[in-house]
């Protein structure tokens, strides 16, 4: 069975959608641990409420990346729990070569836009400011770049007249909560293959 570790920084609604899919029996996987770089992140409470080991990782002195002693600590915890897939769910730091080398091809992320459009932060606001008519979310493998790895799947979300950054993000999150369990199901069933920059889905 697929052993998933989740890294996050915030409220953890994506983590919840994965917990719910496992509980509903629609995803054959287990969550072996949840890690957060924010001490009071609600994602840690969600893990504890579900009996999942939860860890706060102090990532100082770095503000935007996971590197150095904290990176090594994360690797040690992930190995200790036997994680074979690392799921970034609202983890607001760049992962660097140490973690990528420790779990090659085994780290995925969800991004709140249709990549390659609007990488980086506050992508829903970027979409609004850029006048996009359609945006969405993307599940992708993680590489050294910012939101550049091979794409597993995407869900579209219309931008509506009168949308605020908050209303648009909320609508994107509805699709995220469908997309992440769906991508994980493909991985758990061994149906994804990376060919260069492309992900191929097999039946
Ligand atoms: C999600 O919308 C996710 O796509 C985004 O943060 C939110 C986390 O929500 N991630 C990024 O912007 C990464 N660049 P959650 O904590 O409720 O899962």
pLDDT in tens, 36-49: 999 999 999 999 99
Among the candidates 79, 104, 129, a domain finishes at 104
Range of the domain at 61: 1-104
- pLDDT band, residue 177 (cuts 50/70/90): very high
First to last CA, the chain: 19
Distance 178 CA to ligand 1 centre (A): 14
pTM (2 d.p.):
0.96
Portion of the chain with pLDDT greater than 90, in percent: 97
Predicted local distance difference test score (pLDDT) of residue 196? 86
Q: Which of 11, 107, 110 to mutate for ligand 1's pocket (most ligand atoms within 8 Å of CB)?
A: 110
Nearest to 140 by CA among 95, 188, 97, 197: 197
What's the structural domain count of the chain?
Answer: 2
**Together in a domain, 124 and 184:** yes
Q: Is the CB of 8 under 6 A from ligand 1?
A: yes
| Tokens at 142, concatenated | 């993680």
pLDDT value for 72: 98
Does pLDDT of 91 surpass 90? yes
Whether residue 159 is found in the same domain as residue 196: yes
> Which of 70, 104, 138 is the last residue in one of the domains?
104
Tens digits of per-residue pLDDT, 111-136? 999 999 999 999 999 999 999 999 99
Give the integer Cα–Cα distance in Å for 61 and 35.
18
24 has pLDDT over 90: yes
- 42 in the same domain as 22: yes
**Helix (H), strand (E) at residue 23:** helix 13-24
Report the distance separating Cα 49 and Cα 203, nearest Å: 36
Residues 61 and 15 grouped into a single domain = yes
Q: Is position 111 annotated as part of the catalytic site? A: yes
User: What CATH number is given to the structural domain containing 4?
Assistant: 3.40.50.170
């Amino acid at each position: 069975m697929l052993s998933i570790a989740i890294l996050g920084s915030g409220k953890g609604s994506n983590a919840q959608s994965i917990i719910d899919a496992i509980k509903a029996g629609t995803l054959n996987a287990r969550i072996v641990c949840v890690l957060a770089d924010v001490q009071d992140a609600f994602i840690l409470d969600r893990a504890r409420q579900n009996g999942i080991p939860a860890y706060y990782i102090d990532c100082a002195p770095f503000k935007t990346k996971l590197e150095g002693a904290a990176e090594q600590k994360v690797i040690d915890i992930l190995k200790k729990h036997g994680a074979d897939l690392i799921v970034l769910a609202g983890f607001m730091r760049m992962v660097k070569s140490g973690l990528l080398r420790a779990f090659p091809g085994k780290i995925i992320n969800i991004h709140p836009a249709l990549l390659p459009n609007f990488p980086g932060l506050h992508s829903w606001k970027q979409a609004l400011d850029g006048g996009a008519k359609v945006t969405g979310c993307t599940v992708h493998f993680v590489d050294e770049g910012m939101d550049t790895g091979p794409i597993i799947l995407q869900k579209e979300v219309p931008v509506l007249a009168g949308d605020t950054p908050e209303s648009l993000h909320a609508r994107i999150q509805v699709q995220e909560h469908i997309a992440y369990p769906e991508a994980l199901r493909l991985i758990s069933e061994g149906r994804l293959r990376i060919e260069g920059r492309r992900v191929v889905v097999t039946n």
